[in-house]
Amino acid sequence: MANQYRVKTGVKLYTQVLEQVKSMIAQGVYKKGDLLPSEKELIEMMGVSRITVRKALQILSEAGVIETRKGKGSFVAVDASELAPASMDLKKYCESFVQATRARLLLEPAIARQAAQTATPEELEQLRKNVHTALPMDRFHDVLVEMVHNPLVTDWIQQSHRLETDPTLSALIPPARQRSMSPQLEAQHQKIYEAIRDHKSEHAYFYMKEHLEFVLESYQEYFAMFY
């Protein structure tokens, strides 16, 4: 029986564990309120490590699919119907978000590079004040694009930003998931800010590219797992 849950090579192990748990819920093996198998049982069922199981359960918890209670285990928090395939509109939104982030990757590293060359003390102070905003799209990026003083570039980038601040995204990405990403996003913002402040233009370019690649990869992975 357990063999049917064994993971395969070529795909991230925690993603496979996550999908197996989702499948068991979707098929009614475990219903809302039911206690899932323990970490030890999942390890034995799927032939993976404890770290892999914990990573999968963490993502499911952040997504609101399960609720983990200290000392008691993980409980199903959704009905099977809530794990049904996403509508075409949601899929289109997810794809639009990905395309917008890819477009930002083409422009924002160059914007960061220029800002490192031309930023005034006043602009740097505004950027510093917004380092610790860590939504997918936030005031930090708005301040940065305004620093190049090019209305066409500003308008174009802000159109992409509007898609990424659409309420749809907040509905798709639960607050717990967003909070789990915040420390990494803020650390990346800090590196970008420091490079611009120190007029290290190539560092600013690289750190912005690294930051947006992280955002793109994180959200693509999440959309693939849940939508």
Question: Which residue bears the tokens 């800010």?
Answer: 193
First to last CA, the chain: 28
Measuring CA to CA, which residue among 62, 72, 87, 74 is closest to residue 24? 74
Q: What is the pLDDT of residues 20-46, one digit of tens each?
A: 999 999 889 999 999 999 999 999 999
Q: What is the pLDDT of residues 175-202, one digit of tens each?
A: 677 777 888 999 999 999 999 999 999 9
Distance CA 111, CA 205 (A): 8
Higher-pLDDT residue of 221 and 189 is 189
Q: Please tell me the predicted confidence (pLDDT) of residue 137.
A: 54
As a 3-state breakdown, the chain gives helix, strand, coil percent values, each rounded to 5, of: 70, 5, 25
The overall pTM is greater than 0.85? no
Helix (H, G, I), strand (E, B) or coil at 66: strand
Single-letter residue type at 134? A
Give the domains, in start order, of the chain with CATH numbers. Answer: 2-83 (1.10.10.10), 88-226 (1.20.120.530)
List C-alpha distances in Å: 49 to 17, 22, 53: 11, 19, 7
Are 206 and 95 in contact by the 8 Å Cβ rule? The answer is: no
Residue 35: strand pairing partners: 75
Distance of CA 1 to the CA centre of its chain: 34
**Mean local confidence (pLDDT), 38-67:** 92
